[in-house]
Amino acid sequence: MKYNDIDFNDKTILITGGAGFIGSNLAFYFQENFPESTIVVFDKFRSEERFSNGNLKSFGHYKNLIGFHGDIICGDINSKDDMQLLEKYDFDYIFHEAAISDTRVYDQEVIMQTNVNSFYDILEMARKKNAVLVYASSAATYGSQPSPQTVGMEGPENPYGFSKYAMDQIAYRYMKEYPEMTIVGLKYFNVYGSREFFKDKTASTVIQFGHQILSGKAPRLFEGSDRIVRDFIYIKDVIQANIKACTPKKNGVYNVGTSKPRSFQDIADILQKELGTDYGTEYFPNPFTGYQMHTQADISTSREYLGFEPEWELEEGIRDYIEEIKTIYDTEVADG
Ligand SMILES: NC(=O)c1ccc[n+]([C@@H]2O[C@H](COP(=O)([O-])OP(=O)(O)OC[C@H]3O[C@@H](n4cnc5c(N)ncnc54)[C@H](O)[C@@H]3O)[C@@H](O)[C@H]2O)c1
């Protein structure tokens, strides 16, 4: 699938965070559609280290890259020495996905260092190498701002959301100071799809509910889940947004969602339909404060300046994804 006229063959592409969910999907997108491109994945991969919330410090996993033939560099975006390893490449495009992606890490120092300090280096690299820069921002920058969430109306309510908000502000300054650069930030809403499994508990509820159902149990949802709605966006639409972001009509930060919010209950019900089960639902109290109850991306500027048009309804995305949910269950979950 090609989303615009860019021929990425003979181009050199950096994907930071390329061993993670979205980054690895980008890597395979280029490999499959532009076999002559030079693709460089830069990722810290996972170690055994964990945050105080029990989650791993980074989710990159080699299994996301099995079948990938490009260059892989294991490095930390916080390390100047590791970043030096990228100097020899003449990048045309940089997709910056590396980050602490876990929205429930509250150590402000580590989040700001990882997500924000490194961003100055990425921006400078893009400037010096004259590369197009597309980076991952987030819907978490909106906190509990009312729907539809609109770029410019942010109100982050946790350190992760603030770190992405800070990245956007730095990007805006660069866009102003260096108008010759191409810089686009993408505020992803709730992404689901292939290669997200290794995000463990931070993977989308689509795979989590899917695996609960496959284990023969009713999916476990927060009480009132028919009223908790989110803008769920399928990974293939996220790839579309990244490709279209390479030829923006205007530099900027854009929402990446469907603008059609759906409830967590919908996800559970669609999954049961796809898997042919009728287990009902198990409800439990929502333990979180500061929980987003309603998100809906305003994608008017994404449409206008990127030409972004979401193609996947929730039902279609889950149908497209269901075989992988089953395979991952069989290979990674079922045997313990
Ligand atoms: N998935 C979503 O729903 C979503 C929503 C909004 C924003 N985002 C953003 O999109 C980007 C990609 O998210 P994802 O879902 O693929 O998450 P992910 O955790 O699977 O991918 C992030 C990757 O960055 C790597 N990484 C982390 N710290 C690093 C460091 N210090 N140096 C080098 N690599 C490091 C990890 O190993 C991982 O492979 C992130 O910036 C995330 O914040 C994701």
pLDDT tens column, 107-137: 999 999 999 999 999 999 999 999 999 999 9
pLDDT in tens, 17-62: 999 999 999 999 999 999 999 999 999 999 989 998 889 999 999 9
Pocket test for ligand 1, best of 16, 22, 205 (most atoms within 8 A of CB): 22
Range 12-333: architecture per CATH: 3-Layer(aba) Sandwich (3.40)
Residue 114 is predicted with a pLDDT of: 96
Residue 86 is predicted with a pLDDT of: 98
Residue type, 40: V
Atom 12 of ligand 1, residue of closest alpha carbon: 97
CA angle, 99 as apex, 97 and 102 as ends, to 5°? 115
Pocket test for ligand 1, best of 14, 24, 50, 97 (most atoms within 8 A of CB): 97
Percent of the chain predicted with pLDDT > 70: 100
Residue 189's nearest CA partner among 294, 115, 296, 58 is: 296
Cα–Cα distance for residue pair 128/138, rounded to 1 Å: 26
- 275 alpha carbon to ligand 1 midpoint, in Å? 29
Which residues participate in catalysis according to the annotation?
A: 160, 199
Q: What atom in ligand 1 is closest to the CA of residue 196? A: 20
- 18 alpha carbon to ligand 1 midpoint, in Å? 8
Average pLDDT over the chain, rounded to whole?
96
- 4 alpha carbon to ligand 1 midpoint, in Å? 25
Percent helix / strand / coil, the chain, rounded to 5: 40, 15, 45
Indicate the range of 44-58, 88-102, 239-253 predicted with least confidence: 44-58
Given a cut of 70, whether residue 63 has pLDDT beyond it is yes
**Ligand 1-lining residues (CB < 6 angstroms):** 17, 19-23, 43-45, 58-60, 76-78, 97-101, 114, 136, 138-139, 188, 190-191, 199
CA distances from 322 to 123, 206, 302 (A): 38, 9, 28
**For the chain, what are the domain ranges?**
12-333
CB atoms under 10 Å from CB of 196, counted, come to: 27
Given a cut of 70, whether residue 195 has pLDDT beyond it is yes
Residue 292 is predicted with a pLDDT of: 82
What residues contact 187, with CB distance under 8 A and at least 6 apart? 137, 138, 139, 141, 142, 151, 164, 253, 254, 255, 256, 297
Q: What atom in ligand 1 is closest to the CA of residue 135? A: 41
Residue 170 is predicted with a pLDDT of: 98
Q: What is the DSSP string of 55-97?
A: -BS----GGGGTT--SEEEE--TT-HHHHHTTTT---SEEEE-
- Beta-ladder partners of 222: 284
pLDDT in tens, 272-298: 999 999 999 999 999 987 788 899 999
180: tokens are: 């010759």
What residues contact 226, with CB distance under 8 A and at least 6 apart? 263, 264, 265
Residue 336 is predicted with a pLDDT of: 61
132: tokens are: 């197009």
Atom 1 of ligand 1, residue of closest alpha carbon: 191
Give the pLDDT mean for 137-147. Answer: 96
Atom 20 of ligand 1, residue of closest alpha carbon: 20
- 65 alpha carbon to ligand 1 midpoint, in Å? 15
13 close to 95: Cβ distance less than 8 angstroms: yes
- 98 alpha carbon to ligand 1 midpoint, in Å? 5
Q: What atom in ligand 1 is closest to the CA of residue 198? A: 20
> Do the bridges between strand 190-192 and strand 262-263 make them parallel or antiparallel, or are there none, so unpaired?
unpaired
Atom 18 of ligand 1, residue of closest alpha carbon: 20
